[in-house]
């Protein structure tokens, strides 16, 4: 295995009595996109600040590219681009000026800074607004400018704190695609924090669930769901017209079915009351057998889809589990 580019060990940060980050261990490999997931106040931003040496940890070490971030933050900041969650620009300067300023703070000579800034503005799709005052930018434009601002120093690692906050869905999609594309083409390591689960799910190689200053699970989405369930389970959702509940009884009697639940029906679809949606959990693959059973029963089958554990579920179940755990402890 390649050496990790970001390595946190036993990282702890306390604000007085409050522990924001608690004995965190994390390794991020070069070239991957890692999503740091957690609710507000979970300690994501604090962790990021410690990675950049902007905040001193109470104990533990941070090594970024093999450099101790607490001791020599300057060397780390030279290699790491950081986009704060609510990025600010000098509003009365143009986009180009803002980028050139950042570049020059990184000791890039003026002519080269200008070239890079123009190129990046093109890449993030802001070439038409290069000379415009940033004050007149929309939220999505700012976020894209932020990405350009992070990339102008040609970093090895970029850290994005809530990059999708406050952008419309289409903007989010574009931004995430852009991040993924850039990461793949330049071989960048990306660390992004978010509390928007599916967004992170779209582009991350691995995610870490971060709750109350602790990393409670880390890995790709499949391994996370395995960690959660302990064994493999299959879930299928069946849409069927079943006014008397006989189909449900038929499915429930099938071999391998563990449970069958009625999912809340989609209130937006017309005539929803006549269609039932069942969520069938089983320990063997049952999709085709289910279809057969429903059709044989003579009921109209309207939809059939396997359900993969999304981050939403994982996240939700982790919280449920966590809460239950605490209850047991108490």
Partner 1 sequence: MSAWMAKLRDRAAKSPLRSAPASNGADAAGRRAPSPFWIMVQKEFGDHIRSWRFIILLGIVTLACVGSIYASVTALKNGGGAGGNGQTNAENSFLFLKMFTESDGSLPNFLTFLSFLAPLIGIAIGFDAVNSERNKGTLSRVISQPVHRDDFLNAKFVAGLLLIAVVVFSLGFLVMGMGLFTIGYPPSPEEFWRVVVTLLVTTVYVGLWLNLSLLFSVRFRQAATSALSGIAVWIFFLVFYGMIINLVGNVTIPSDPTDALAVMHQQDWLMLLQRLSPAYLFQEAASTLLLPDVRTLNPFITQDQAYLALNAPLPFGQSLLLVWPQVVAIVAETALSFAASYVAFMRQEIRSRS
161 binds partner 1 (CB under 8 A): yes
Structure tokens at 65: 């590219």
Joined together, the tokens standing for residue 102 give 């950042």
> Whole-number minimum distance, CB 76 to partner 1, in Å?
8
CB-nearer residue toward partner 1: 146 or 208: 146
Interface with partner 1 (CB under 8 A), residue from 2, 17, 18, 74: 74
Site membership for partner 1, residue 82 (CB under 8 A): yes
How many H-runs (helices) and E-runs (strands) does the chain carry? Answer: 11, 14
Verify binding: residue 322, partner 1, rule CB under 8 A. Answer: no
The correct pick among 1, 16, 107, 185 for binding partner 1 (CB under 8 A) is: 107
Q: Is position 115 an interface residue for partner 1 (rule: CB under 8 A)?
A: no
41 binds partner 1 (CB under 8 A): no
8-state DSSP, 2: P
- Helix, strand, coil % over all residues of the chain, rounded to 5: 40, 30, 30
Stretch that binds partner 1, among 121-129, 149-157, 261-269, 296-304 (CB under 8 A): 149-157
How many residues bind to partner 1 according to rule CB under 8 A?
34
- By the 8 A CB rule, do 203 and 163 touch? no
Question: What are the backbone angles phi and psi of residue 48, rounded to the nearest 5°?
Answer: -65, -45
> Does position 101 bind partner 1 by CB under 8 A?
yes
Q: How far is the CB of 261 from partner 1 (least distance, A)?
A: 43
Taking the least distance from each CB to partner 1, the nearer of 55 and 183 is 55
Could you give the 3-state DSSP secondary structure of residue 265?
coil
Q: Are strands 234-241 and 275-282 parallel, antiparallel or unpaired?
A: antiparallel
- In sequence order, which residues have a C-beta less than 8 Å from that of residue 166 and are 6 or more positions away? 139
Who's near 181: CB < 8 A, 6+ residues apart?
Answer: none
The binder of partner 1 chosen from 88, 166, 245, 300 (CB under 8 A)? 88
Residue whose structure tokens are 């993924």? 180
User: Which 215-274 residues touch partner 1, going by CB under 8 A?
Assistant: none
Q: Which residue has the tokens 């929803």?
A: 272
Q: How far is the CB of 176 from partner 1 (least distance, A)?
A: 21
In angstroms, how far is CA 23 from the centroid of its own chain?
Answer: 22
34 binds partner 1 (CB under 8 A): no
Residues that bind partner 1 (CB under 8 A): 45, 49, 52, 54-55, 74-75, 77-79, 81-82, 84-92, 101-102, 104-109, 112, 149, 153-154, 161
């Amino acid at each position: 295995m390649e050496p990790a580019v970001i390595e946190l060990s036993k990282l702890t940060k306390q604000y007085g009595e409050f522990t924001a980050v608690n004995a965190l261990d994390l390794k991020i490999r070069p070239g991957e996109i890692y999503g740091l997931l957690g609710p507000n106040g979970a300690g994501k931003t604090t962790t990021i600040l410690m990675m950049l040496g902007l905040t001193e940890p109470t104990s533990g070490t941070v090594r970024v590219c093999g450099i101790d971030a607490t001791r020599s933050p300057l060397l780390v900041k030279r290699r790491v681009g950081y986009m704060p969650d609510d990025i600010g620009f000098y509003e009365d300067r143009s986009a180009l000026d803002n980028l050139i300023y950042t570049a020059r703070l990184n000791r890039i000579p003026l002519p080269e800074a200008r070239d890079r800034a123009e190129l990046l503005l093109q890449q993030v799709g802001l070439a038409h607004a290069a000379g415009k005052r940033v004050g007149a930018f929309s939220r999505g434009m700012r976020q894209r400018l932020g990405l350009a601002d992070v990339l102008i120093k040609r970093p090895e690692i970029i850290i994005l704190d809530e990059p999708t906050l406050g952008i419309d869905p289409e903007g989010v999609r574009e931004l995430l695609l852009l991040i993924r594309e850039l990461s793949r083409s330049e071989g960048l390591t990306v660390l992004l924090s978010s509390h928007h689960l599916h967004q992170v799910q779209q582009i991350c190689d691995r995610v870490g669930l971060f709750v109350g200053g602790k990393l409670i699970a880390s890995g790709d989405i499949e391994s996370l769901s395995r960690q959660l369930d302990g064994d493999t389970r299959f879930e299928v959702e069946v849409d069927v017209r079943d006014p008397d509940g006989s189909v449900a009884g038929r499915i429930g009697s099938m071999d391998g079915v563990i449970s069958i639940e009625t999912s809340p029906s989609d209130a937006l679809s017309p005539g929803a009351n006549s269609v039932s949606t069942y969520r069938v959990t089983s320990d063997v693959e049952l999709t085709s057998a289910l279809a057969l059973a429903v059709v044989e029963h003579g009921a109209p089958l309207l939809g059939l889809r396997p359900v993969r554990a999304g981050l939403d579920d994982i996240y939700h179940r982790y919280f449920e589990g966590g809460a239950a755990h605490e209850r047991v402890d108490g």
